[in-house]
Amino acid sequence: MKQMVSRVLPVLAVLLVAGCAAPPPAPVAAPPGYLDEARGIAAMVPANLLQVLTAELERGGPAGAIEVCRDKAPEMARAASARTGWNVRRASLRNRNPKGVPDAWERAVLERFDAQAAAGASGATLETHQVVTEDGKPYFRYAKALPTQALCVQCHGDPATLGTAVKARLQALYPDDRATGYAPGQIRGALFLKKPI
Ligand code: HEC
């Protein structure tokens, strides 16, 4: 009898504790394959843009490439969204495109990426993902950092070192531009992907 009590008591204790704690809402698990899919898209879109950008920089220099960046980057994000069913976009804490303002989740991620890069992490490796509930519906969200590379500073670097033609073009197209003053290695922004579950 004594032996039985000693066996049952711990079980009872566990049941009591488990029964008293309010059960957390069942978390929605990320569907299998979502993360791989997001990573695949996030690996492709910036690489494609970089290819177009590099070709245009060679052909027309940075001032000439600004228009390409303005038209091609949002166009490629739109095309990727239409092709894959994911919402794909770029945003930054210091945006150039007026639509590139981060939402609350994106802002928190960008601030974390900045802190990680400042602590020595390589921007190329920074990514994150989370299942979130927005307006009562679950979404899978993914972010990949877009670090400033050497070629980026031609259009995103210290205003004092930007070419005169680049500065004039940026001023005309983006009067509220906040996306200068970056050095290589700093996080310029991120690519954000989102899909309902
Ligand atoms: C030829 C000039 C040019 C170069 C070089 C350039 N960008 Fe941009 N960038 C722009 C313009 C113009 C925009 C605004 C249009 C848009 O939304 O893409 C922009 C916007 C962005 C945005 C969207 C957020 C925002 O600020 O509006 C990110 C992120 C970005 N650039 C990252 C980069 C990175 C990383 C590189 C280097 C790999 C780079 N850019 C190189 C001109 C340039």
Q: How far is residue 165's CA from residue 147's CA, in Å, rounded to a whole number? A: 24
Q: Is a pLDDT exceeding 60 seen at residue 20? A: no
The residue whose CB lies within 8 Å of the most ligand 1 atoms, and thus the one to mutate among 51, 66, 95, 96, is 96
Q: How confident is the model at residue 62 (pLDDT cuts 50, 70, 90)?
A: very high
Tell me whether residue 22 is in a domain: no
Containing domain of residue 171, as a range?
28-196
Lookup: tokens for 7: 């066996």
Ligand 1 centroid to Cα of residue 90, in Å, is 9
- The number of distinct structural domains making up the chain is 1
Tell me whether residue 3 is in a domain: no
Tell me whether residue 23 is in a domain: no
H helix runs in 85-134, sequence order: 104-118
- The whole-number pLDDT of residue 7 equals 62
Tell me whether residue 139 is in a domain: yes
Q: Is a pLDDT exceeding 60 seen at residue 10? A: no
Q: What is the mean pLDDT of residues 181-196?
A: 97
Q: Is a pLDDT exceeding 90 seen at residue 193? A: yes
Q: How far is residue 35's CA from residue 188's CA, in Å, rounded to a whole number? A: 23
Residues with CB under 6 A from ligand 1: 50, 53, 62, 65-66, 69-70, 73-74, 90-92, 95-97, 100, 146, 148-149, 151-152, 154-156, 179, 188-189
The residue whose CB lies within 8 Å of the most ligand 1 atoms, and thus the one to mutate among 188, 191, 192, 193, is 188
Tell me whether residue 2 is in a domain: no
DSSP state of 78: H
User: For all residues of the chain together, what is the average pLDDT?
Assistant: 89
Residue percentage of the chain with pLDDT more than 70: 86
DSSP state of 138: E
Q: Is a pLDDT exceeding 50 seen at residue 16? A: no
Tell me whether residue 17 is in a domain: no
Q: How many CB atoms lie within 10 A of CB 132?
A: 13
pTM to 2 decimals? 0.87
Q: Is 8 helix (H, G, I), strand (E, B) or coil?
A: helix
Q: What is the mean pLDDT of residues 87-91?
A: 96
Q: What is the mean pLDDT of residues 42-48?
A: 91
Q: What is the pLDDT of residues 92-125, one digit of tens each?
A: 999 999 999 999 999 999 999 999 999 999 999 9
